[in-house]
Homo-oligomer: A and B are copies of this chain.
Amino acid sequence: MATTDVQQEVIEKAKAARAAAQAMAALPTAAKDRALTAMAQALVERQNFLLEANSEDVRSARDAGLSEALVDRLLLSEQRIAAVAAGLLEVANLPDPVGEIMVGWRRPNGLRITKVRVPLGVVGMIYESRPNVTVDAAGLCIKAGNTVILRGGSEALRSNIALARVIAEAAYGEGVPEGAIQLIETAERAAAQELMRLSQYVDVLIPRGGEGLIRAVVDNATVPVIETGVGNCHVYVDDSADLEMAESIVVNAKCQRPGVCNAAETLLVHRAVADEFLRRVGPALAQQGVELRACPATREILPEAAEATEDDWRAEYLSLILAVRVVDSFEQAVEHITAYGSKHSEAIVTRDHERAERFCELVDAAAVYVNASTRFTDGGEFGLGAEIGISTQKLHARGPMGLRELTTYKYVVHGAGQIRE
B-contacting residues of A (Cβ < 8 Å)?
21-22, 25-26, 105, 107, 111, 113, 118, 120-121, 199, 203-204, 218-219, 222, 224-226, 242, 245, 248-249, 252-253, 256, 338, 356, 360-362, 364-373, 375-377, 381-383, 393-396, 398-399, 408-420
Cβ-defined contact, A417 with B218, below 8 A: no
Q: With A382-B113, A394-B204, A410-B366 known to touch, is A245 a contact of B417 (CB < 8 Å)? A: yes
Q: Which residue in chain B gives the minimum CB-CB distance to A356?
A: B414
Contact of A222 among B219, B245, B370, B382 (CB under 8 A): B219
Q: How far is the CA of A204 from the CA of B394 in the complex (A)?
A: 8
Cβ-defined contact, B383 with A420, below 8 A: no
A interface SS class: mixed
Cβ-defined contact, B121 with A413, below 8 A: no
Cβ-defined contact, B222 with A419, below 8 A: no
A219, A356, A373 — most chain B CB neighbours (10 Å): A373
Which residues of chain B are within 8 angstroms of A371 by Cβ–Cβ distance? 414-418
Q: With A252-B420, A373-B420 known to touch, is A408 a contact of B413 (CB < 8 Å)? A: no
Can you list 19 A-B pairs with a CB-CB distance of less than 8 A? A21-B364, A22-B362, A111-B372, A113-B382, A120-B394, A121-B364, A218-B222, A219-B222, A224-B225, A224-B395, A364-B410, A370-B412, A370-B414, A371-B417, A373-B418, A373-B419, A376-B420, A394-B408, A395-B408
A203, A224, A419 — most chain B CB neighbours (10 Å): A419
Q: How far is the CA of A256 from the CA of B419 in the complex (A)?
A: 9
Q: How far is the CA of A219 from the CA of B373 in the complex (A)?
A: 40
Q: With A218-B222, A245-B417 known to touch, is A383 a contact of B22 (CB < 8 Å)? A: no
Q: Taking the nearest CB of chain B, how far is it from the CB of A405, in angstroms?
A: 10
Q: With A26-B361, A413-B370, A413-B372 known to touch, is A396 a contact of B396 (CB < 8 Å)? A: yes
Which residues of chain B are within 8 angstroms of A242 by Cβ–Cβ distance? 417
A120, A356, A414 — most chain B CB neighbours (10 Å): A414
Q: Taking the nearest CB of chain B, how far is it from the CB of A240, in angstroms?
A: 14
Q: With A224-B225, A394-B204 known to touch, is A410 a contact of B368 (CB < 8 Å)? A: yes
Q: How far is the CA of A368 from the CA of B396 in the complex (A)?
A: 21
Q: Which residue in chain B gives the minimum CB-CB distance to A223?
A: B218
Q: Taking the nearest CB of chain B, how far is it from the CB of A224, in angstroms?
A: 5
Q: Taking the nearest CB of chain B, how far is it from the CB of A16, in angstroms?
A: 15
Q: How far is the CA of A393 from the CA of B368 in the complex (A)?
A: 29
